[in-house]
Structure 1
Amino acid sequence: MKRIYNYKAVLLGITILFVMFFYFQSGSDDTITVKETPYALQVIEQDSSWIYEVYNNDSLFIRQEYIPAVKGRQGFTSKEDAEKIGNLVIRKLSENKMPVISMTELYANAIDFTNN
């Protein structure tokens, strides 16, 4: 009988250690600082394609109706594609970089377009 209590005590101790480990491990993510930005993204469906608009302090800053860096006037075929590139533009603006999108970035984000 005493042996069963010893096993239960050891099992309880190990369980508490695991819980504490995962609690403190997940708590360390709170130290990541989120940089606030004056930019906001809005994705809108227009005709049969998607566009994105970047606002700076509630003022329209960029309105992108076509996929940047692609020849011709090709619109975004999905809301997700427009969001990916819009968020990339906001990230660049927040880092004080030029919000220029390259073909490499389009391929890296798996943006759907026709390469002419």
Structure 2
Amino acid sequence: MNSAKSQSFPKATSFDAALVHSKIMGPNPLKLCEELLHDVHIPCGVRVCDLGSGTGITSALLAREYGFDTYAVDLWSDPVENRAFFDSLGIPRNTIHLLRRTPHRGSRLSTTILMRS
């Protein structure tokens, strides 16, 4: 990646490019997230919800690069796999909380906290 692109998205490009490509399923979500948060002043430690967190790459960005207390919520992703991914990046366990949305009878959904630390 050339330096001009890296300077445009310094937080997004802090992740290894091969890792990002293995985790994404469309446009680069790290760059989209960073662009959305550009010039937005949210204090470190604020609780945020990464709804539809998938493989966890955006949750990792929010926790590691912005210092947010991140809740990664997804219907399909494997929380054990995502926890191992966060651990491999050295992200403290108490900064990303994994939740899985699970269908119940009828049209109601409930949220179950699978892993917190």
- TM-score by shorter chain over 0.5: no
Normalising by the smaller structure, the TM-score range is under 0.3
**Higher Cα Rg: structure 1 or 2?**
1
TM-score (norm 2): 0.27
> More helix per residue: 1 or 2?
1
